[in-house]
Amino acid sequence: MRRVNRHQLAEKLAERLAITRPMANKIIAEFIECFREEVLEGKPIYLRRLGKFEVKLRRAKIAFDMFNREPIEIPAHFKLVFKAEAGLRREVMQIPIKNVLAAPKPPEQ
């Protein structure tokens, strides 16, 4: 399955809204900036028909190095978590596997 980047989204948005690509790029750039600001303030973001993004605190813990089994302390930290809305999860589960496997591979760089 190929990845969709910001410019491809802008092109699709420009087409759907009958606006110029630079205007669509600006809208997406501003959305991303607003989104980042809210997330960095620790505010949860709920986008209907998509899901919820929120910053969660992960407690400090002791883990073990896989190679020499020495304990490693992992400090407490924040993590960005996304939970897809139930309707979207159901739609994703309905995607035929053959459609995903048949998608063209991106060119090697």
Please give the model's pTM, rounded to 2 decimal places.
0.74
The pLDDT assigned to 100 comes to 67
Q: Which residue has the tokens 């309905």?
A: 94
For the residues 53-67, what does the mean pLDDT come to? 95
- Cβ–Cβ under 8 Å, residues 45 and 39: yes
What is the rounded distance in angstroms from the CA atom of residue 85 to the CA atom of residue 47?
Answer: 9
Residues of the chain with CATH 4.10.520.10: 43-104
Q: pLDDT above 90 covers what percent of the chain?
A: 82
- List the one residue out of 76, 43, 37 whose CA is nearest residue 59: 76
User: What's the CATH fold of domain 43-104?
Assistant: HU Protein; Chain A (4.10.520)
- List the one residue out of 59, 58, 60, 55 whose CA is nearest residue 81: 55
